[in-house]
Structure formats: structure tokens, C-alpha cells
Amino acid sequence: MPTLTRAEAVERASLVDVEEYHVDLDLTGSGDTFRSRAVVRFRARAGAATFLEFEPVEVASMTLNGVPVPPEASTGTRLALTGLADVNELVVDATMRYRNDGEGLHRYVDPADGNTYLYQHMFINNAGRVLPAFDQPDLKAVFRVSVTAPESWLVATNGALVSSDAGRWEFAPTKRISTYLATLIAGPYHAVTAEHDGIPLALYARAALAEHLDAQAPEIFELTRQSLDRFHEMFEIRYPFGHYQQAFAPEFNFGAMEYPGLVVFRDELIPRSAVTETERERRANIIAHEMAHQWFGDLVTMAWWDDLWLNESFAEYLGSRVTAEATRFTDAWTTFAMQRKAWGLRADQRPSTHPVAPSDVRDTEEALLNFDGISYAKGAATLKQLVAWLGDEAFLAGLNDHFKTHAYGNATLADLLGALSKSSGRDLSGWAEVWLRRAQVNTLRAEVTRDGADYAEVAVVQTAPEGFPTLRPHLIGVGLYDRAADGRVVLRARHEVELDTSGRTVLADLAGQPAADLLLLNDGDLAYAKIRLDEDSAAAVPALMPHLDDALARAVIWASVLDSVVDGERPVAELVTLVLTALPVESEPSVVEDMLRTTRGLVDRYATAEARPAALELLAQAADRLLAVVPAGDSRQLVAARGLIGATVDTGRLRSWLAGQDVPDGLTVDADLRWLIHYRLAVLGAIGADVIEAERERDRSASGEQWAVRCRAALPDASAKEAAWTAIVADGSLSNRLADLTAAGFWQPEQAELLAPYAERYFTDMPGMMRIRSGMSAERIAVTAYPAVIVSDRTRQLAAGLLAEPGLHPILHRVVLDADDDMRHALTARG
């Protein structure tokens, strides 16, 4: 995968104006290649030289303005052109290679029925794997696509279908879009169609998922209609790309991608087994998020990747907002507080932290690394604060002005800030400097002194980490909660407070008021900051939390507790005790799901080998208690069952569930729950490869294949571990998803002694893995395969050695740098 520098992009944009790509793909051949014939029409500075991204297997012919281009002009990653005219036409006929890593034209064979499926993902700098292209976001062009494929297939692209006959599909030209937004799907996809407000709608999924897509299509269409209506209420420019198709593709690297006219999701979002309300909400949020991109990213596109936040921060913010405002998932901001914002806070405190809107992103490799919790969740939380500060009317007026000015073109941070400043009458340059241009997070602590039963003084103290001394203006809620006569904990009053940058803000209105049972900073979750309660409130949390009615307030408290544990201010044992006390009565499924998962992860790394079994037992008890009290069929029942399976060592109980015995009423041990049980049994060494293979024979689906790979990697067997490790680091034929799941199953805290030698092998073998994989697939495997459960000074020494090596791949460098910092936290917690 070639890297494009910003300097190269700026120079090329000064020379070239792209008008149209006419792409003609022949997908009928056998083997691992396809034919691509591309006609690229562009204007240029007469006499100039430039290049296109291009990675062919073989070139049949190349002409520029009717003159043959010499073969040596194609280097294998780029195509160099010289002697350009004012108006140019490049025609290239080449053989290209299908991919198995989700980068380019990805090819997948479904083990359920042998059907072949394709999807095109040219994200960031992969367009050259499908056609010769000027692959940068500010060189937009019209795409006109033709495809030859087996007659039994379905083919869809960004553009509208013009004709389909005898295996030949012709599509209408698109609006002007960036190269990374051009896509297609092809294969025997199953389709469900509808229409809303004059917009044709379609859903696509593999034939093996047809019955599940049919069953879930009404809900997906409802969410799509609700989201479209809400965006049309907010935005003066209606949905701008004609039809609205949503495809669910196998082995997709992202959760989804916002291709205009044809959004592509990973097909796990069409589940075949029971799911929780949180998972349904997550799908709703992703649908709204990708729809927001049709304006933020597709209609108006960043000029370069340093303004990634114009895409992802806005889509993240609007995804949660529209989900909460337009769908039945009205508590979406609670999920954001628990899960998404926590992701941003963790990323923002790592060594690789960066501003939401960095002033310079040097190249496309650095751009890929910035697709993280900062660009998504921190940016969204910052926008939530900005909207509260500006007012919604001024905010939306600025956005609509921005869309009108830059429709079908590109824009920068300065362009958007100008529109918002104009609509609000406020100069946003100072706000942007501290919130968008500077990295890291502030901590807000409540300082309370009492005069008997009353407050003498309440202050909020703001601090910043060493090396990142910025203090910021914050608009926060301060909630006073008291226990009522009936035992419930209810809100007495919420004070809105603007914190300045002095570092200490006194809440004068609270002086002389009766002290609350709980004083909660950031009540309402407007602020992006770490929150610390005063001593009395923190001590009262275990008794008050089970009786606190406000789900968002509980989420703020849970997040504060988790963050305190990560920072080493509270022991993980205290967290586990709180989970045992409060989680069985928690009513919000997203809170239950996140707390069980996050606490389990902290126990695996922060608890010592001696303390971990007891901590896991308490987690299993918490899940078991919840399982005993929730109504049959309640979403929390499935969450609790999964949590219990993951924490228990009672293999007899797990086997009885597989046999259909003693299963709680309302809980179905379906295909995926069966696999989860098998996975836990594999980790504990209670089954072998033969049992996994038998279950695989029972479930010949794509999901079954993926579960089996993960289970085999989890076996505490030396030969199984060696085979799995070889697959992770050396088998380029293994697809992106299967390699990732192999890595996900490999590392188990229960198997530390067996796995210890592989900690060293990670640091010797992973550079080789980076040579056989690229992009997001390589990054994901490097993260998942990291020996995070081998918590030791020796692992940190090995990390330091690799980081010191010259020429280390930047993706691997960042992964190891951040993972090592996580291990530093774990060692601190254990100490």
C-alpha cells in the first residue's frame, strides 16, 4: 500500500482537476484476479508531470491522449505521467488482484453454500488496487461504472442502475465524490426494497442470511426512515445522493462505511441469534452515524486528512443525537457516556494522543492511525459541549450555511468555524484552539467543606496532566441527589456552571445549602473530562447507586469509578465489589453490558494471578444474581448469561446448558450462545479440538467457521498455540477476519505459563506480519495479538527494545507504544 504525503497531495491538486472515472470491471474470470478497464478524464497544467495510484498484476495497455504510455511508467504502486495537456484522457486496461484483507476489491466465499461475494473498499489509499486513480479527498470526480459478472449475481454501486441484461450492468454517473467513497457490491446478494419520501431504499445481504434480513428489514427500514426524517428537519439540503442502499457485507473491516448511495456495513449487524437491546441500539446508532456522513464527508468532504474530525466527530455526535431524538432508543446518550466517550478518554491519555483537529497530518499512514477514539468520541463530546454553549438554533444555522457554500466540494476547519461564528455571533477561534488544536484531557474534582449539615463551600478544581497544561472552559451540570422517604435517590436540583480557566471555580450558590447525599459533577454529561467525586459522595456511591433513578447519572458515576481504577486511584477489588452490589439492580442494558465487559478486562490485567480467581468468582456471582432477578426474555438476561459464561469456571453448569438442562426460563441457547459456551470450555481446557470440530459440523455457517477458528486458538495446548501463532504472523492467505479472530482467541490469562514464550515472539515476529498485511487489517491484528495478559516488567522491556529499532513500521510503533502504556497502568495497579 503506497503512502501519499500531504506535500505530494498539495502539489498534485495544484496541477490536476479530475472530471470523470469510467470504470469497466469484468468479474467473470476464475482465480484470484479480475479485469479493470478505466478511462480517466482530467484537466491539467499543460506540460506538467504527475502520478496516479495504481497497483496492477499485469497491464494489457495504457494510453494517454491516444499515445501509448511506456510500461516502465507503472512502478507497481504508482503510474507516472509526463507531458500532460490541458485536457487529458488516460485509458488503462489491466488485470488486478482480489484482496482478502478488506483493502481494495475484497473476495469472500461463504462456507455455508459456496457462494462468492465481493465488496469494494478503497478507503484512504486503496483505490489503486481497483483502478488508476488520483487518490486524495480533494480531487473529487464523477464515477461511471460498468460491470460484467455472472448473470445470477446482483451488482450495486453508488450510482443508480441504468440497465441489467445478460450479465452486464450499467450504472448512471454519480455526483462528484472522492475516490475513497466509490464502492460496489457483487454476488448473489439477497435484496429487500422499500421507499420513503421519494427516496428508493434497499437492503442487501448474503443469501445465507436471507431469512434473517427479511425478519429484520422492517426494523432497519423504520430506523432508516426515522433518521432520514430527522436529518431533513435539521438540514435544508435534503439527502443528496438519490437512492439509499444499505449492504451488509462479509469480513468488512469497519463497522460500516458511508459510501454515498450505498452504505456498507459488516454483516454481523444482521445477527442470526438473539441479541440485546444494546446491540439493537448500536445498529440504530451506526445507521444514523453513516447517514450523517452523507452530509458530513460525502456532500462536503475534508480537503485533507487533518480535518478528519469534520467527518467522524460530526457523524459520531449526530449518530447519538438522532438515535436519541428520532428512534425508540431514547437513552442513546447514556450508551455514549458509558462506551463511546470512555473510548475517547482512554485514547486521549495514551502516548499517541493527538488533537481532535491536528494542524498537520503528514501522510496517509498517519491519517489511518487517527481513526481512533479521539477523532470519533472526543470530537463528538466536544461538539455536544459546543452545541450547549452556542445554542442549537445557531449551531444548525451554521451547518446549513456550510453545506450550501461547499456542496459537492471540499472544506476545512476554518470554513466550518467561519460559518458557525457567523451564525452565532461568537468568535470561535479561542474555543477551537483549546478544544480542537490541543491534546489530552482535564480532570474535574469536587472540593467540599461543610458547616455541620450544610455546605460551607463547594468548588470545582480543574487540573491538566504534566506535559499538556491546557485548562479549558467547561459548561457542566452539578446535580444534588438525596435519598427520598421511599428509599429512591432523586434529584433535588441541578446547577449549570461555567468553569473558567483559572483552575478553581467556587459554586457560590451552594454555600449554606443542606449538603446532598450525593453531589455529582457533570450531571447530564455535557463535559468531556475525567470526573472525581468528593470523599463523602464517593463513599456513599455503593449504598446510593442501586436506588438512583437517572440512568445517565448512573453512567457518569460508573465511568468515574472505572477511570479512577485505570488511573490507579482505586483498586480493582473495589470496582468488583461495586459491580456485585449495584449491577444486579441496574436497569439500563448498555450499562450492564459495558460494566461486565470492562470490569472483566480490568480483572484480567489488573488483578494479580493470586487475586484473579476470586475477582472472577465475584463477577460470576454478579451476573448470576442479575440472571435470577430479571424477567424472562428481558434483554439483561442475555447480557447476564454472557457475563456468567465468560467468568465462571463451573464447567458442569456450562455443559448442562449445552444439553438444554437448567437453562433459565426465557433464555435460548441458540447457535451463538452455544459457541460462547464452547469458547469458555476451550479456554478452561474442558474440551478439545474434536468437540470444536463437531460443533463446526453442526454449524456450517460463516459464523460457525469464525467461532471455530477462535475456539481452536484458545485451546491450552502447545500444538494448537503454535498453529494459531503461525497463522497470525505468517499466513497471508488467511482472511482479515479469520486472522483477527485467531489473535482474539490466542491470549488467555488462564494460560499465562503456556503463553509466556509468545510474549517475546510477538516482538520478533510482528514486524514480519506487517510485511504480509497492510492498513486496517494489519493494525487490528497487531492490537489483538499483543501479549496484554502477560503483565510483567519483562514484557515492557521487550516493547522498549522493539520501539527503539530504526525503521519500525509506524502502525506497529503506535500499537506497541500504546499497549505498553496500558501495561504500565496494569503493573501500577498490581503494585
Helix (H), strand (E) at residue 661: none
Nearest to 74, CA basis, from 51, 90, 91: 51
Q: Distance of alpha carbon 793 from its chain centroid, rounded?
A: 31
What gap in Å lies between CA 120 and CA 268, rounded to an integer?
18
Confirm whether 290 is a catalytic residue: yes
3-state SS, 264-299, equals: EEEHHHCCCCCCCHHHHHHHHHHHHHHHHHCCECCC
| 737 torsion bin: left (phi>0), alpha (psi -120 to 50), beta (else) | alpha
What gap in Å lies between CA 168 and CA 188, rounded to an integer?
14
Helix (H, G, I), strand (E, B) or coil at 231: helix
Residue 65: how many other CB atoms lie within 10 Å? 14
**Across the chain, which distance is largest between two alpha carbons, in Å?**
91
Measured in Å, how far apart are the chain's first and last C-alpha atoms? 43
> Any bridge partners for residue 157, and if so which?
184
What gap in Å lies between CA 534 and CA 514, rounded to an integer?
16
The C-alpha angle with vertex 545 and arms to 541 and 548, in degrees rounded to 5, equals 130
- Exposure string (b/e) for 514-546, b if CB count within 10 Å is 16 or more? ebbbbbbbbbbbbbbbbbbbbeebbebbeebbe
Q: What are the two backbone dihedrals, phi and then psi, of residue 457, each rounded to the nearest 5 degrees?
A: -155, 140
Which one is catalytic: 55, 290, 588, 593? Answer: 290
- Contact status, residue 561 vs residue 538, Cβ threshold 8 Å: no
Task: Identify the DSSP state of 355.
Answer: -
Grid coordinates representing 243? Answer: 437512492
Q: What share of the chain is helix, strand, coil (3-state, %, to 5)?
A: 45, 20, 30
Nearest to 704, CA basis, from 672, 741, 679: 672
What gap in Å lies between CA 415 and CA 46, rounded to an integer?
31
Q: Determine the residue type at 450.
A: R
The string of DSSP letters for 519-567 reads EEETTTS---SEEE--HHHHHHHHHHGGGB--HHHHHHHHHHHHHHHHT
Q: Distance of alpha carbon 308 from its chain centroid, rounded?
A: 14
Grid coordinates representing 474? Answer: 467547561
Q: Which residues are CB-contacts of 114 (< 8 A; sequence separation ≥ 6)?
A: none
Active site residues: 290
